[in-house]
């Protein structure tokens, strides 16, 4: 429970959050296997029976994003959207 509070501090010291996450997941898995319980139960059990799916879009030209997201609603039936903005490859926008 306290690991979430430590993560920002560790990341600022140069540790990779991805590496920390991998170890965290592995430790939960080991604990679950040793207790014969699924990790979702160790984390407090089921909270909801269903979750709403959302469409994820963006990383398109400014002209295309609106149409892309409209199509997720019209053709996909999604009621929730997550839109990324900015350039997919930020390297072109970084100067030395």
pLDDT at position 1, please?
A: 47
The answer to whether residue 95 is domain-embedded is: no
The pLDDT, as a whole number, for residue 6 is 59
Residues of the chain whose pLDDT is less than 50?
A: 1, 96
Q: Is residue 79 part of a domain?
A: yes
Q: How many domains does the chain have?
A: 2
Whether 23 is in a domain gets the answer: yes
Question: Does the residue 48 lie in any domain?
Answer: no
Task: Evaluate whether residue 69 is within a structural domain.
Answer: yes
Q: Helix 3-12 to helix 17-35 angle, to the nearest 10 degrees? A: 150
Tokens of 47: 């909270």
DSSP alpha helices (H): ranges in the chain? Answer: 3-12, 17-35, 39-42, 62-74
Please give the residue range of the domain that contains residue 17: 3-42
pLDDT of residue 26: 97
pLDDT at 40: 94
**Cα dihedral across residues 59, 65, 71, 74: positive or negative:** positive
């Amino acid at each position: 429970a306290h690991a979430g509070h430590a993560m920002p501090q560790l990341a600022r010291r140069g540790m990779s959050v991805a590496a920390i996450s991998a170890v965290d997941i592995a430790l939960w898995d080991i604990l679950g296997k040793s207790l014969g319980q699924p990790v979702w139960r160790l984390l407090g059990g089921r909270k909801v029976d269903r979750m709403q799916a959302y469409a994820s879009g963006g990383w398109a030209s400014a002209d295309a994003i609106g149409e892309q997201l409209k199509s997720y609603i019209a053709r996909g039936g999604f009621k929730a959207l997550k839109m990324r903005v900015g350039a997919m490859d930020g390297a072109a926008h970084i100067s030395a």
